[in-house]
Structure 1
Amino acid sequence: MISVGLTGGIGSGKTTVARFFEAIGIPIYFADDRAKALMVEDQELIASIKALLGDQAYTYDGRLNRAYIASQVFNDAKLLEALNALVHPAVGKDFKQWAQAQQSPYVIKEAAILFENGSYTHSDANILVTAPESIRLERVMSRDGASEEAVRARMQHQWPDEQKIPLADYVIENIDLEATRKQVNSLHKQLISLKK
């Protein structure tokens, strides 16, 4: 099974690109969504998170106490790194099990920080979705109702495209939806030809 990583900076439209692949029958693993689910489903991971951050990391009914976790990790890079070191291997294991169950020429793992966390090295190929910063800012401000300053602050937590492009096997520029769909269809043909 060929495993393809898909990523892009905030507002680049990586989820839109993932949906285009999904529409042509390619299974998509949304890593960030699965990470959130595993943090409340995987008992081993829950125990590790409580050991790291304390029982307050979860509410009385077993949900993630997001505000508490954010207050702990976002001003402490080492603690955030330690939390990621617990979550990323659990996601990696979950992805492998999921991928083995798929019947498709390839599968796609969509993740926001694929390059930043090094998981791109586990993929057979990686796709980077890009768009000019001004478009990305506009998309996120309109989608989240966020200020430009807030969006720029979130962008600071991700590598710039210039740092990611050399690591990507394919780059999709997502400005016009129809042009993006054509790029996806063309790339789909290339990826099928990689089939092991």
Structure 2
Amino acid sequence: MQHLGITGGIGSGKTTVCKIFETLGIPVYYADERAKYLMSHDRELIAGISTLFGPEAYLEPQVLNRAHIAQHAFNDQEKLAQLNALVHPAVARDGLEWQTAQHNVPYTLKEAALLFESGSYRALDQIIVVTAPIELRIQRVMARDAAKREAVEARISKQMPEEEKVNLADFVIYNDGVRALIPQVLAIHRGLIGN
């Protein structure tokens, strides 16, 4: 069984593409969702976060103080790197357990925004990158998160450039509002299952 990764910049449409793969019976591990879960449920990770950010890191047991973490992590690159050094290995372990539990499927997908940045792509067989024009991505995130343009642009500027991700990809899905997604997903799926 192959283990593939799927990534793309914020607003590229990774989740939409993953939902199409799921309709084909392909299991998807959503790394960002699992990271949030683990930060509130994994004892070792909770202990590490509490040590790094102090007792204010949790509002109560298993309730992460997201505002406190964001305030400190996103204004201090060293703290952010330390947080990532705690979270990424926990997600990697969890993802490996999840992969091992999958049976009777031709391949699995691991969806993660920071697949290349975290280094987790190295444990995967092939990578799919979902890409979209920058202006479309900005508009999507502004609508989805009710966010201001400046805030979205700031988030995008902190991510690996989409062109770099495309250059590292084995497969590219264009979610530009012009090319239909389903035929692109089906072409990759058929290639992977040998049809």
Length-normalised TM-score, structure 1: 0.94
Partner of 2:160, secondary structure, is coil
Mapping of 1:154-173 within 5 angstroms?
154-173=155-174
Tell me what 2:10 maps to: 10
Q: 1:22 to 1:178 in 2, by over 3 A?
A: farther
Instruction: Tell me how far apart the structure 2 counterparts of residues 53 and 36 of structure 1 sit (CA, whole Å).
Output: 16
Counterpart for residue 186 of structure 1:
187
Q: Distance in 1 between matches of 2:9 and 2:179?
A: 20
Q: What is the CA-CA distance between 1:60 and the residue it aligns to?
A: 2.3
The alpha-carbon deviation at position 177 of structure 1 amounts to 7.8
Distance of 1:136 and 1:48 partners within structure 2: 34
Partner amino acid for 1:179?
A: A
**Whole-angstrom distance in 2 between the partners of 1:58 and 1:177:** 44
Counterpart Cα distance in 1 of 2:113 and 2:185: 19
Structure 2 gaps of 5+ residues are: none
1:156 maps to a residue whose letter is S
**For residue 43 of structure 2, what is the aligned residue in structure 1?**
43
CA distance in 1 between counterparts of 2:98 and 2:178 reads 29
Q: Identify the range of structure 1 (143-152 vs 20-29) with the bigger mean alpha-carbon deviation.
A: 143-152
SS across alignment from 1:59: strand
Question: What is the aligned length?
Answer: 193
Taking only the aligned residue pairs, the percentage that are identical comes to 54
Deviations 1:107-160 (A, max 9, x none): 100001111221111110000000111111111111111121111011011111
Q: 1:15-58 deviations in whole A, cap 9, x for unaligned?
A: 00000000110000000000000111111111111111112110
Q: Give, in angstroms, the shift of residue 176 of structure 1.
A: 3.3
SS at match of 1:29: strand
In 2: Cα distance, 1:62 partner to 1:81 partner = 22
Runs of 4 or more off by more than 3 Å in structure 1? none
Give SS of 1:3's match.
strand
Which SS does the other structure have where 2:109 is aligned?
A: strand
Deviation at 1:175, TM superposition (A): 2.1
Aligned twin of 1:149: 150
Match of residue 32 from structure 1? 32
1:87 aligns with 2:102: no
1:111 aligns with 2:112: yes
| Backbone CA RMSD of aligned residues | 1.3
TM-score, normalising length: structure 2: 0.95
2:62 — aligned with what? 62
Q: Is the 8 A contact 2:131 2:166 kept in 1?
A: no
- Offset at residue 7 of structure 1 (A): 0.5
Within 1, Cα distance between the matches of 2:43 and 2:175? 39
Uncovered stretches (5+) of structure 1, i.e. residues with no partner: none
